Amino acid sequence: MKVTALQPVSRKEDGPRGKKNADVVIVNTCAVTSKAAMQSRQAIRKIIRENPDAKVIVTGCHAQTDPETIKKIDHIDHLVCHKDKLKIADHLGSTADDRFPLIFKKIDRTEPNSFKGFHHAVKGDMTRAYLKIQDGCDAFCTYCIVPHARGASVSMPEADILRHLRELGASGVNEVILTGIHAGMYGRDFKEKSSLLDLLTRIDQERPVYRLRLSSIEPCEINEGIIRLAKPGHILCDHFHIPLQSGDDDILKKMKRPYDRFFFKDMVQMIYEILPFAGIGVDTLIGFPSETDRQFENTYELIESLPISYLHVFPFSARKGTPAYHFDPKVDDKTIKDRCAGMRTLDKMKRREFVGRNLNRIQEGLVQNNPDKKTGLIKAVTSNYLTVLLKAGPEFCGKILDLVPEQWDKDLTVKGRISE
């Protein structure tokens, strides 16, 4: 039986990735923005056209939060809710309607949630492995659909995390990226409370892999202990990706974000004092309802004043089922577009500053399995999240080596050499 599993939206490609003539297709939909949800539906339709005889199984956050819209698409065989996603493989032989046992249910937050992960760590052909250590969220930021899709915050037991990391380390993986919807909440759902700092400290003592990276962490959950675990000789990469969203206090309140601009500023400065070369990435959400020019400038000026190394810029997207869907006045599309363009210019400035600070500095880089498509040079990713192109043979793939970034071009492509 030929099974194709698809993520409808990928960062590298616009359309769905997939193969034709599969027997079963599983589509993992996304709901984080209305565009992602729309692309998910487009992907399902395309897959049905290209695989007319396949069983089509749809799961993921869009299916979970808006099953009625998905059901309007003809020829979907099964909708599977988030909590049953990992059981699909067990039932692939029973996809006939009368035998498929997974019943779709909406999230019921009054029922206890439990962590579900793969039994073995998944690496595929990637140089760096991803390990989900937490799922769900209890924060209910007013713009966000995720708590409605994933349920309450739940964490993978520490023993399982260590087992996965040992397996990955033994198979030669040098870097693991720890992911979660709200990873800073790690361990707070346990009977005996734990924390992300406790977990990272434990991993740092054992060192089952060479280094760990956090995929993202909320401003209020970064603390001095975590930052110190990213100092040389410790397990964490000196790279933090932090969702700021807005640098205006009134907008932050309307978003129900639990910090203000001064808290954020102090936190970034604490990172910079302890780790002066840290990569610090920031998410911004632009054009939240009622955001004025002045409030947008507050965000811009806050970021401009701080040692941030790059930005991810997201235009506000009203998600049905969230409070912000009903907030007025909405910011018009052109204003949102212009503000996003301004932020992207600031992103380029920040990236340039960051590269400039890192030039001619010896750093460790993990060599990626795939070379750079344009130049054919090998790519290495540093602990502080700089990608450096190097002249070297494929024998270095997956290895950590010392490198020196030496020059960059107008597209911010950084080239360097292996340090002797």
Between CA 128 and CA 134 the distance in angstroms is 19
Closest separation in Å from C-beta 325 to ligand SF4: 14
Cα dist from 27 to 7, 30, 219, whole Å: 6, 10, 33
Q: Is the peptide bond prior to 329 cis by the omega test (within 30 degrees of 0)? A: yes
The answer to whether residue 281 forms part of the interface with ligand SF4 (CB under 6 A) is no
**In whole angstroms, how large is the CA radius of gyration of the chain?**
22
Strand, coil or helix: 121: coil
The answer to whether residue 220 forms part of the interface with ligand SF4 (CB under 6 A) is no
The answer to whether residue 324 forms part of the interface with ligand SF4 (CB under 6 A) is no
The HSE-up count of residue 391 (CA atoms within 13 Å, CB side) is 2
Question: Which position among 83, 182, 319, 339 is part of the footprint of ligand SF4 (CB under 6 A)?
Answer: 182
The answer to whether residue 190 forms part of the interface with ligand SF4 (CB under 6 A) is no
Smaller CB distance to ligand SF4: residue 36 or 139?
A: 139
**DSSP string covering 170-194, please?**
HTT--EEEEE-SSGGGTTTTSSS--
The answer to whether residue 154 forms part of the interface with ligand SF4 (CB under 6 A) is no
Between CA 259 and CA 39 the distance in angstroms is 33
Which H or E run includes 24? Answer: strand 24-29
What is the distance, to the nearest Å, from the Cα of residue 81 to the centroid of all Cα atoms in its chain? 21
Question: Which position among 61, 76, 129, 144 is part of the footprint of ligand SF4 (CB under 6 A)?
Answer: 144
Supply 116's token pair. 């579900």
Closest separation in Å from C-beta 152 to ligand SF4: 11
Supply 7's token pair. 């993520």
Question: Which position among 60, 117, 147, 405 is part of the footprint of ligand SF4 (CB under 6 A)?
Answer: 147
The answer to whether residue 118 forms part of the interface with ligand SF4 (CB under 6 A) is no
Binding to ligand SF4, residues 121-140 (CB under 6 A): 137, 139-140
Helix and strand element counts for the chain (H, E): 11, 17
Closest separation in Å from C-beta 145 to ligand SF4: 8
Which H or E run includes 284? Answer: strand 279-286
Smaller CB distance to ligand SF4: residue 86 or 139?
A: 139
Smaller CB distance to ligand SF4: residue 172 or 258?
A: 258
Between CA 157 and CA 187 the distance in angstroms is 8
The answer to whether residue 117 forms part of the interface with ligand SF4 (CB under 6 A) is no
Task: Tell me the window of 144-152, 207-215, 339-347, 407-415 that interacts with ligand SF4 (CB under 6 A).
Answer: 144-152
Closest separation in Å from C-beta 156 to ligand SF4: 17
The answer to whether residue 244 forms part of the interface with ligand SF4 (CB under 6 A) is no
Question: Which position among 146, 161, 217, 388 is part of the footprint of ligand SF4 (CB under 6 A)?
Answer: 146
The answer to whether residue 58 forms part of the interface with ligand SF4 (CB under 6 A) is no
> Which spans of this chain sit near ligand SF4 (rule: CB under 6 A)?
137, 139-141, 144, 146-147, 181-182, 218
